[in-house]
Structure 1
Amino acid sequence: MRITLGNPASAPQPANAYYSQVARVELPGGGALLYLSGQVADGADLATQSRGVFETIAALLHAHGATLADVINIRTYLTDIDRLGEYGAVRREFLTGTVPTSMTFEVSRLFAPDALVEVEVVAAVGARPEA
């Protein structure tokens, strides 16, 4: 099994360089699992931040030949669980079709002082053609 860690140049770069945004785990027989670090985004309100988060996640997945349809698990961290409906409305714009397994947590704060939401995902992608 091969594991590759990194930050795809085609996606927004992390706020600091102390972590990898994606861990790609090649599976025996083809295909891979993609583990994405938690993503936050700038914005004055929860909806704007949520859209930014999902746009970044989509770009990270795209860099590995995947889409949001390949997401199998999503973990969401909100600073105010009472705003789950606002976040959920944006999430439904991006995650259509069969929904992934999910966990949502309320946290007292996130690493970015103005962040209201952080999202991490796991995606399963099919075998990639040989280059």
Structure 2
Amino acid sequence: MPAREDMPSTLKRSPKKAQDTYAKAHDAAVAEYGEGERAHRTAFAAVKHSFEKVGDHWEPKRKRGPSDAQAARSNRAQPAETASGVDANASKKHLIDVARRLDIAGRTTMSKADLVKAIQKANSRADRKARS
């Protein structure tokens, strides 16, 4: 499968189900739209509905559904900012739990939006560290 060969490193470090979700969605998108960026975005959108990014890998979400406002929109003609795999629709308690696992300082006093941004930064750092 071409999708498995070109799979992003974050997915290679993730559970098999996340890899299967990406590969199946990518292959279907290639059949529909052709190879390219749109197929990869479609595959990531499928992953983001069932998984959230924690550090340098993807983990199953407690509840399936869109991870941020952009993913919930039906009209994507005007792109909005995404949460980069962080489940921004999760409860604040869940976000604090994720922040604790990522060792983010000051997490208990942060707003929900600040937690999402801090988790995004921690995920980016973990990705860079895992790639080096």
TM norm. shorter chain > 0.5 = no
TM-score range with shorter-chain normalisation? under 0.3
For normalisation by structure 1, the TM-score amounts to: 0.26
Q: From the two aligned structures, give the one with the greater helix fraction.
A: 2
Q: From the two aligned structures, give the one with the greater strand fraction.
A: 1
For normalisation by structure 2, the TM-score amounts to: 0.26
Q: Which has the higher contact order (CA 8 A, sep 6+)?
A: 1
